[in-house]
Amino acid sequence: MGCVVVVGTQWGDEGKGKVVDLYSHEADMIVRFQGGNNAGHTLVVEGKKTILHLVPSGILHNNKTCILGNGMVVDPKVLIQEIDELRSQGAFPPETKLYVSLNAHLIMPYHRRLDAARETRKGKAKIGTTGRGIGPAYEDKVARTGIRFCELLDESTFAKCLRKNVEEKNFLLEKYFGEAPVIFDEIFEEYRGYADRLRDYVADTSLVLSRAVKQGKHILFEGAQGCHLDIDHGTYPYVTSSNTVAGNACCGAGIGPRQIDGVVGICKAYTTRVGGGPFATELTDEIGERIQTVGQEFGATTGRKRRCGWLDMVLVRHAARVSGVTGLAITKLDVLNGIEKVKICIGYRSGDGEFTDSVPSNTKVLESCEPVYEVLDGWTEDIGNVRTFEELPANTRRYVQRVEEMSGVEVILVSVGPGRNETIIKKRPFSMSRG
């Protein structure tokens, strides 16, 4: 298999960073295809924690090519800070290359301002965005008023686009939100400096990928967030502003759909969510608090406490279907150690008593649903040092097997701790047969 996509099957924070880092060892190229610095992928290597927001998780490996695809929205200030921090820590290997697509859109200061102003105006009805300007940047992209890296590198074109946008955004900021305006000259000078710093990283990344595919290279596509934050397939409107499903790897990177050979879906052993929106299996009791504490469930980007609940297989099945998942990776299984009885949601019961095993599109309906659980015996054994599936306690194996049975997808990886080595690898995605 040459091209493998890694996506989240829940509401993000599934542990994609660790899995991508593991698979990057076998990959030649690692590609981000959507989102921006609203993502936060946490890697733990030899006890050292690295948090990445823009740069693909494969950056820690030498002799790789890492790409920020055209489907991303990129804050150049954040990207430069991340590059500089990686280099200062010696975490940017000398033979590893980093490219940013000419067609990737820029996050501008007015995007962040508008993002914050809208959330403030919504009050209790706010979506719970990261405030990084992601949504407004994607809005401009769709409205055909966005500014891409190719425009940034052409000073006269950039000035023309920026002046027009500043005029429009200031009208919204001042007249609608009652906020102070942004200043054209300040933004122009700031971003002209970013252009100078990033010029050598910008490339036609679709062409780079096309050549790699023809050469038979192993390419790993790294998704951000999770399926149920997808703008089309998620729990709308409590979603992100991009397509997080596997299909967007093609649009967001610039390759054809026939090039994708497999899709690995990341499934946390329980469920978490950041921000607002329905959450059928949410736990507000001692067990929920325990999972939150043991799992260190704080957002890598915002630091916000994550809401925690039992594993919801309705969500996972939906994600497996819309992303065409060919292998499941279960993460944070060790967090459930010591819980006497563990539950798995197998379906929902609506307010009128009707049972469903699919995710309702209507958010109001979903909010009224009650989870239907299957209860399994838990385990007390410490599984952190286990490296084969057969060595897991019987109850732990049963839990994993039920996830496999309910999802209809083979489990190919089980994470039993945060470290790179704390992992049970059953199958490797690049060695799996297609289909």
Q: How far is CA 399 from CA 32, 334, 343, 395, 404, in A?
A: 32, 12, 9, 6, 9
Cα 29 to its chain centre, rounded Å, is 18
CB atoms within 10 A of CB 391: 12
Q: How far is CA 126 from CA 114, 115, 121, 129, 310, in A?
A: 13, 11, 8, 8, 25
Tokens of 211: 């050549």
Cβ pair 197, 179 in contact under 8 A: no
- From the list 16, 71, 15, the residue with the least C-alpha distance to 6 is 16
CB atoms within 10 A of CB 296: 11
Which amino acid, 12? G
Tokens of 107: 């996050």
Indicate if 154 belongs to the active site: no
Indicate if 41 belongs to the active site: yes
Active site residue: 21, 25, 28, 41, which one? Answer: 41
The Cα–Cα gap between 41 and 301 comes to: 9
Active site residue: 13, 75, 115, 312, which one? Answer: 13
Catalytic residues: 13, 41
